[in-house]
């Protein structure tokens, strides 16, 4: 009985990895993993694959860069004003404070997308060296990622 559970976990993990890779349809994933398309759809919903995939599309580093550009733009607007009026309006000050706070929060916390990215890179590196170890780590990393995602909420 444990074999069936292990097999299901492996299939589910492999299907998730293929889904996150983004180069396969649900039908193709189902065929590759050996389950029905409906099973892939169910797993995707149960494990929130769409949300995971979306979190991979914008990394914390990219967000920080965008927010820093916004702060720089606000500063350019302020410095372009005539002498004696080069100060932030309440709205500009509020926006800069919120952006700076968001940047600090992201810098202090490792984002879930970073965790997923590192896990996927590690598995891609390990798979050619030792497939069995990659399967074992894949299962452990699934649990770790879910734990990290839940602790960030």
pLDDT digits (tens, 9 = 90+) for 84-118: 999 999 999 999 999 999 888 877 666 677 788 88
Q: Between these two residues, 42 and 149, which has the higher pLDDT value?
A: 42
Helix, strand, coil percentages, rounded to 5, for the chain: 80, 0, 20
Whole-number Å distance between alpha carbons of 136 and 142: 10
- 122 vs 55: which has the higher pLDDT: 122
Tell me the average pLDDT of the chain. 85
- Note the pLDDT of residue 88: 95
pLDDT of residue 72: 95
Measure the CA–CA gap between 47 and 13, rounded to whole angstroms: 10
pLDDT at 6 (0 to 100):
46
Position 111 scores a pLDDT of 66
């Amino acid at each position: 009985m444990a074999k069936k559970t292990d097999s299901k976990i492996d299939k589910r993990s492999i299907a998730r990895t293929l889904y996150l890779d983004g180069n396969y349809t649900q039908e193709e994933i189902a065929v590759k993993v050996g389950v029905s398309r409906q099973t892939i759809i169910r797993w995707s919903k149960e494990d929130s694959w769409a949300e995971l995939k979306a979190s991979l599309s914008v990394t914390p580093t990219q967000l920080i860069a965008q927010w820093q550009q916004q702060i720089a733009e606000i500063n350019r607007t302020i410095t372009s004003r005539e002498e004696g009026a080069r100060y932030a309006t309440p709205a500009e000050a509020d926006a800069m404070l919120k952006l700076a706070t968001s940047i600090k929060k992201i810098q202090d916390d490792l984002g879930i997308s970073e965790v997923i990215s590192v896990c996927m890179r590690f598995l891609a590196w390990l798979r050619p060296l030792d497939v069995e170890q990659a399967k074992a780590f894949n299962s452990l990393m699934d649990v770790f990622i879910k734990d990290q995602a839940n602790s960030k909420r």
